[in-house]
Structure 1
Amino acid sequence: MRLIHFCSAWLLLVFIPRGCHGGNILVLPAEGSHWINMDILLEALHSGGHNITVVRSNKSWYIKEKSSYYNTYTVQVERNLDQEFITKIIFDYIKFERGAIPLTSFLNTAVGMIGTIVDVHSTVGELVSAILDDKELMRILQDSKFDLVLTDPSWGHGVILAKYLNLPLVYNVRWLIAGEAHLAIAPSPLSYVPITGSGHTDQMTFLQRVKNVLLQLINLIQNQVVVKLVYQKLCDKYLGSDIDFNQLMLDADIWLMRVDFVFEFPRPTMPNVVYMGGFQCKPAKPLPEHLEEFVQSSGEHGVIIMSLGTFVSELPSDMANEIAATFAKLPQKVIWRYKGDRPATLGNNTLIVDWMPQNDLLGHPKIKLFVAHGGTNGVQEALYHGVPVVGLPLFFDQFDNLLRLKERGAAKLLTIQTVDKDNNFQDAIQEVLNEPSYRLNMQRLSRLHRDQPMKPLDTALFWIEFVMRHKGAAHLRTESYRLPWYSYHSVDVVLFLAGAVLLVLFTFVFFIRCLCTKICRSKVKRE
């Protein structure tokens, strides 16, 4: 009898409809390290039974055409954002920063990059045109009956295609064209919400708040220039002149934000923003045999790992030599991801590699310190595994990422202008290694990050499936961004109320004046 009941229950579970059947998802990814994040999400979606289709260019260097968990459509383009282009910009930027005075550096970063940013997004615009002008491809995409578009809005191509196909839109997001995504969708008082690139915390002096406002104005200008020169033209051509790209960009159903409030400073948010910071992090796997032998040979001193990210393949030779000489003086073993010429001062304790399993190394108990450039993935992996950081930021958001760890007592922050001067690099390493508070603070952050009701990746999958089940999430979207700025900030209401008050005061003064005049006239007549 029990067997019959068991079989009945099993059949019931098998044939009960699932909350979300396998969906059909169209993906428009961004290149570079952004794809690393998207790829992890796609693999998890595929494991959940969903069909994934990726649209890529024939010149893509990160997004592979063949995969076991997604299908691809490859679009022919003349040019694309490639690794050589990015690497050259970064190397020139490093050389500039090492000789720049602060004001020059600030102006170069904030203003001088506008032309480069427009050029990058122009290549994305060419990809959009190639997709939408391909009639056969568009017929296939329309006939495929996709449930939603998943895209990274640091590029604007997915936004336009989602509107063209009239599909719900989900973002895997941190950046939005020329700025940080929070600033576009949520109320962001500049008095305590630091702009990326400002190098400030949420506690700013008056002059820092002035700089914060100026940076936001520059970001808005950059965004408007890119939108006007690239994306609005595409909207006018393919969607109609009545479609405003800025509003279209903010009309996504769900924003899967690649940060959380263990890492980010507290700030206002919105109901359709879902935080999945650290979703790419996972327990460490065993190291390759040669790396495990090297790590174990460190004895009680442990290992330091250093990586400056995918795009920084080399450093100026004098800087690389200074870093190598510092490592050579340490009792720890060092694993350094570096593709440049072998530094002349390299010590026997340092292993140079072209690639390393960063997450698996950070999760190894022998790892004592991570020397990092401050990319989001590396910072969150260090936080997840509780490894303190010596930060060497180079560009974009890296300084701000490391600053958040520094403010929480889990990192020491250097700059490329000072890293090879006055033993700064060596002193920073020794301080983080020898002062227990750095490791204790990072381990505390790790515990906070892991203490969640759902894993960040599971949270992301739930909300993607939520949009598929309900054909969108319009009830979570605010209408505030459709308001003109003067209505959003109630400037018109303030002016109306001020006018009403002035009218009442004017009427009262006029009445008193008339009364006084009448009294005076009566007094004169009596006299």
Structure 2
Amino acid sequence: MPSQSARGLFAVLVMPLLFAASCHGGKILVFPLDGSHWINMKVVIEELHARGHSIDVIRASDSWYIKEESPFYTPITIPQDLSLENFFVLHLEKAMKAQREGASWFAHLQLMRKVMTILSQAHAVKCAMLARILDDKSLVQNLFEAKYDLVLTDPAFATGVVLAKYLKLPMVLNVRWITSGDGQSAIAPSPLSYVPVPGSGLTDNMSFTERLKNMLFYSFIVFQERFMVGPSYSAICDKYIEGGCDVVSLIQEADIWLFRSDFVFDFPRPTMPNVVYIGGFQCKPAQPLSPDLEAFVESAGEHGVIIMTLGTLVKALPDDVAEEIASVFAKMPQKVIWRHIGQRPSTLGNNTLIVDWMPQKDLLGHPQTKVFVAHGGTNGVQEAIYYGVPVLGIPLFFDQFDNLLRLQERGAGKILKLADISGHSFERGLNEVLQDSYRHNIQKLSRLHRDQPISPLEHAVFWIEYVMRHKGAAHLRTEAYRMPWYAYHSVDILVTLLAAVMVFLLSTVLMFRCLCCRGKRLSKAKQH
């Protein structure tokens, strides 16, 4: 009979192996979106990998963020003819030029038309990539045989949504935007009286004129979906999905929406049971800076540090803007760390450090950082909230103005339009955001954001694994996505009731007319 020590050794060596064997690691197919969206998706992928899940990632051959090799996932590389990065860089350059030159309203309309054209082309490129996948019989067979538990995708481009439908797999969305507009508006009631449409630059407290503007922007989004974006997906659906499909309805079929926002950041609005708010899930405690960067930051003393970056797509601001900004920085008592790629401004001061890249989150989490000069991307704004750093925002395109507006409304940031930047306006804006009230307000938002029972990332992973365990989450979906628009809005009921009332009123009128006519005939008969 084995000794007590032998039994103990057996338990120590064998039991962990038995436990590990009993754990189920799922198989997940990820169809992400490149650029800053990939930064978010990568955070989720790394956490899923750490929990023992196997992950395959579909990537374009010309991807500029999604690497061919990774310890966290297995890539499935698909040829793509045109680089989407070029689409957006071209748009950004035109948008900055139009803003800076103070173009007329007609020029801005022309710019909006070009933006819609660029987005339409980008969706067409992605649909062509999906067609290559579905036309590759060997690849499709491998995807079926892999027996994935679910598809995790970003529906700003809906190619992953269509693929999930084709493979008949449960679907989880890592989402803020869908093919056109805000994701929540596609799934939850969104009264235009107090839910601002993206791009409108409005809050949830609107006057009559602003509500009218909100309605017009909503019409613009509907037009974009129906005529600029929808046709590319309709062609794919008609060819590959039995019975065809509508891409918005496919998006609405998703089991879980991991929504990259929360109500510390966003305005209150109706929501649905399968929407999980994970705003700021990419944030984590700041790590120590490199020795040279730490020395520069600490040398600022009591005045602290200003950091500035305008995102990955912005290589450089217009030269005149860069010169104005550099001259203001040179006069500030703070030290400045500025991510600037381009010609070095001649007005640059000794207090300003120019870098090609910066550890943004670690700098925001440093106690010496006083102000964040940013373009207003979702990631940067949520990181500013998490770390409690007020923002001077210079919105350039897409959702950036709306993101910054939410901070400005709460007294935690200030918007400075590119067209309005001068040495005087930029200096005034910086000094305003350096005031204690801005830091107090952003730190209040930070406390609210952090006061959660579990972290947003843990929340996200729980619901992904929930869908894997239960083969979907159909019980959390409403039937709204199956209903035609007239049934959803009860137009058919209203028309039926209106018709019934009209029939009743007409019948009553006809009856009275008949009675009146009969009475007249009887009266005449008596007179004769």
TM-score for both structures, normalised by structure 2: 0.93
What is the aligned partner in structure 2 of residue 504 from structure 1?
Answer: 504
What is the aligned partner in structure 1 of residue 31 from structure 2?
Answer: 28
Question: Quick check: 499-508 or 274-283, which moved more?
Answer: 499-508
Which AA in structure 1 matches 2:78? Answer: V
Which AA in structure 2 matches 1:496? Answer: T
What is the aligned partner in structure 2 of residue 328 from structure 1?
Answer: 330
Shift of 1:510: 4.1
Aligned residues of 2:390 and 2:413 also touching (Cα < 8 A): yes
Shift of 1:499: 2.2
1:73 aligns with 2:76: yes
Aligned residues of 1:80 and 1:124 also touching (Cα < 8 A): no
What is the aligned partner in structure 1 of residue 479 from structure 2?
Answer: 479
Shift of 1:520: 6.4
Runs (5+) with no aligned partner, structure 2? none
What is the aligned partner in structure 2 of residue 218 from structure 1?
Answer: 220
Distance 1:496 1:318 in 2: 64
Q: Tell me, what secondary structure is at the counterpart of 1:150?
A: strand
Which AA in structure 2 matches 1:137? Answer: L
Question: Quick check: 125-134 or 515-524, which moved more?
Answer: 515-524
TM-score for both structures, normalised by structure 1: 0.93
What is the aligned partner in structure 2 of residue 419 from structure 1?
Answer: 421
Question: Quick check: 92-101 or 162-171, which moved more?
Answer: 92-101
Shift of 1:216: 1.3
Distance 1:13 1:342 in 2: 58
Which AA in structure 2 matches 1:373? Answer: H
Distance 1:351 1:295 in 2: 10
Structure 1 residues 498 and 293, CA, compared in 2 at 3 Å: closer, same or farther? same
Q: Tell me, what secondary structure is at the counterpart of 2:414?
A: strand
Which AA in structure 1 matches 2:251? Answer: M
Shift of 1:217: 1.3
Structure 1 residues 300 and 18, CA, compared in 2 at 3 Å: closer, same or farther? farther
What is the aligned partner in structure 1 of residue 268 from structure 2?
Answer: 266
Distance 1:167 1:206 in 2: 45
What is the aligned partner in structure 2 of residue 54 from structure 1?
Answer: 57
Shift of 1:209: 1.5
Q: Tell me, what secondary structure is at the counterpart of 2:313?
A: coil
1:130 aligns with 2:132: yes
Q: Tell me, what secondary structure is at the counterpart of 1:175?
A: coil
Structure 1 residues 105 and 490, CA, compared in 2 at 3 Å: closer, same or farther? farther
Runs (5+) with no aligned partner, structure 1? none
Shift of 1:92: 1.7
Shift of 1:430: 0.5
Aligned residues of 1:97 and 1:105 also touching (Cα < 8 A): no
Shift of 1:368: 0.6
Which AA in structure 1 matches 2:70? Answer: S
Aligned residues of 1:124 and 1:157 also touching (Cα < 8 A): yes
Deviation string, structure 1 residues 230-251 (Cα, Å, up to 9, x no partner): 1111122222353333322321
Q: 1:360 aligns with which of 342, 359, 362?
A: 362
Shift of 1:16: 6.7
Distance 1:485 1:76 in 2: 38
Shift of 1:105: 6.1
What is the aligned partner in structure 2 of residue 312 from structure 1?
Answer: 314
What is the aligned partner in structure 2 of residue 406 from structure 1?
Answer: 408
Shift of 1:514: 4.9
CA RMSD in angstroms comes to: 2.5
Distance 1:461 1:12 in 2: 26
Deviation string, structure 1 residues 158-180 (Cα, Å, up to 9, x no partner): 11211221111111111111221
What is the aligned partner in structure 2 of residue 391 from structure 1?
Answer: 393
Shift of 1:277: 0.4
Aligned residues of 1:110 and 1:215 also touching (Cα < 8 A): no
Structure 1 residues 196 and 19, CA, compared in 2 at 3 Å: closer, same or farther? farther
Which AA in structure 1 matches 2:81? Answer: E
Which AA in structure 2 matches 1:239? Answer: I
Identity of aligned residues (%): 54
What is the aligned partner in structure 2 of residue 298 from structure 1?
Answer: 300
Aligned residues of 2:407 and 2:413 also touching (Cα < 8 A): yes
Deviation string, structure 1 residues 445-467 (Cα, Å, up to 9, x no partner): 00110111111000100010011
Question: Quick check: 397-406 or 482-491, which moved more?
Answer: 482-491
Shift of 1:322: 0.4
Deviation string, structure 1 residues 388-409 (Cα, Å, up to 9, x no partner): 1111100000000000011111
Shift of 1:364: 0.3
Count matched residues.
523
Structure 1 residues 13 and 206, CA, compared in 2 at 3 Å: closer, same or farther? farther
What is the aligned partner in structure 2 of residue 42 from structure 1?
Answer: 45
Deviation string, structure 1 residues 96-125 (Cα, Å, up to 9, x no partner): 122245733652454332211111112111
Shift of 1:507: 3.5
Shift of 1:293: 0.4
Q: Tell me, what secondary structure is at the counterpart of 2:186?
A: helix
Shift of 1:79: 2.4
Aligned residues of 2:175 and 2:258 also touching (Cα < 8 A): yes
What is the aligned partner in structure 1 of residue 101 from structure 2?
Answer: 99
Shift of 1:153: 0.8
Question: Quick check: 103-112 or 486-495, which moved more?
Answer: 103-112
Distance 2:102 2:187 in 1: 34
Question: Quick check: 224-233 or 115-124, which moved more?
Answer: 224-233
Which AA in structure 1 matches 2:42? Answer: D
Q: Tell me, what secondary structure is at the counterpart of 1:73?
A: strand
What is the aligned partner in structure 1 of residue 430 from structure 2?
Answer: 429
Aligned residues of 2:91 and 2:115 also touching (Cα < 8 A): no
Shift of 1:229: 3.3
Aligned residues of 1:114 and 1:222 also touching (Cα < 8 A): yes
Shift of 1:525: 7.2
Structure 1 residues 105 and 214, CA, compared in 2 at 3 Å: closer, same or farther? farther
Distance 1:20 1:487 in 2: 46
Distance 2:78 2:511 in 1: 76
Q: Tell me, what secondary structure is at the counterpart of 2:200?
A: coil
Structure 1 residues 20 and 204, CA, compared in 2 at 3 Å: closer, same or farther? farther
Aligned residues of 1:54 and 1:71 also touching (Cα < 8 A): yes
Which AA in structure 2 matches 1:38? Answer: M
Distance 2:409 2:175 in 1: 24
Q: Tell me, what secondary structure is at the counterpart of 2:236?
A: helix
Structure 1 residues 123 and 101, CA, compared in 2 at 3 Å: closer, same or farther? same
Q: Tell me, what secondary structure is at the counterpart of 2:59?
A: strand
Which AA in structure 2 matches 1:146? Answer: Y
Structure 1 residues 203 and 290, CA, compared in 2 at 3 Å: closer, same or farther? same
